[in-house]
Amino acid sequence: MDQYIEVNGIRMRYRVEGRGDWLVLIHGVGGRLEQWDQFVSLLGGGYRTLRFDQRGMGETSKPEGPYRVDDFVADAHALMEAVGAERCVLAGVSLGALVAQGYALAHPGKLDKLILLAGIAGRTDEEKRRVQERLSIVAEGIPGQHFENSVDRWFTDEFRARHPEIIAAYAASNRKNDPKAYAAAYAVLANTDFADRLHEIKVPTLIVTGEHDKGSNPRMAHFMHDRIAGSQVHILPRLRHSLLIEGPRQVLDVVEPFLRA
């Protein structure tokens, strides 16, 4: 059941399910807590999951930007404090993985483990140029245009051919985003990089990305792995950026052993 709470001057939508140790899940840019539906369903019992709509997205308030990664970290922290999640495993995907990195740096004593799915770090000059091009498209404020331009980067050709109804549903959801809030959130994804601080992360960390993800590519995954001591890295065959939608079972197959270890 969805619940709402006032934190940091915004009204956040969140959902708590299950029992056991806390597992906090942070969605990607332009997404909402439903991005984790398949993952949570497959996960089964044994964990108490907390997921929520980040500021500017879903049914959470959409204050005027600019946003900073610290805003997203502070929102997650305030919500976790409010629901009593004193310690947790923290997982994030895409923008959520960036927020999770920021959280691990700001509140290391709160985390038992860290999971970074399709995460960003150490962009090259060419990768910076490309993400700034995408940011300029988002900043134009045409609802849905970024999704339409990115669908082939996010989903494999085979998945798009087999599941046009899923692609259509996500396109419709993307068109509902507030253009200014979406741009403010995307700017955080485009302009934030914790490359120089990754060595400070000391909690056990799992890094996962798709073999053919162009934006959060395997090179970045190995870059993070090389800088986070004791981390694990898994590159999922064939998948692109939308790991949780196209390959939730593959994701869980590497996440579950990490959670149990």
In this structure, are residues 209 and 243 in contact, taking their beta carbons and an 8 Å threshold? yes
The string of pLDDT tens digits covering residues 86-132 is 999 999 999 999 999 999 999 999 999 999 999 999 999 999 999 99
Q: What Å distances lie between residue 18 and 21, 39, 165, CA to CA?
A: 9, 13, 29
State mean pLDDT over 224-235: 98
Of 1 and 113, the one with more pLDDT: 113
Q: What is the pLDDT of residue 175?
A: 85
Q: What is the pLDDT of residue 150?
A: 84
Residue range 226-246: mean pLDDT, rounded: 97
Q: How far apart are CA 225 and CA 195, in angstroms?
A: 11
Q: Is the pLDDT of residue 45 over 80?
A: no
Structure tokens at 141: 């404020």
Structure tokens at 167: 């692609």
CATH number for the segment(s) 2-260: 3.40.50.1820
Residues 6+ apart with CB under 8 A from 171: 144, 147, 148, 151
Show the beta-strand stretches assigned E in the chain.
2-7, 10-17, 21-26, 47-52, 88-93, 111-117, 205-210, 232-236
The mean pLDDT value of the chain amounts to: 95
Strand pairing category for 10-17 and 2-7: antiparallel
Phi-psi domain of 140 (left: phi exceeds 0; alpha: psi -120 through 50; beta: other):
alpha
pLDDT at residue number 148: 79
- For the chain, domain boundaries: 2-260
Contact assessment for residue 233 and residue 141, using Cβ atoms and an 8 Å cutoff: no
pLDDT at 141 over 80: no
What sign does the CA torsion over 16, 256, 231, 97 have? negative
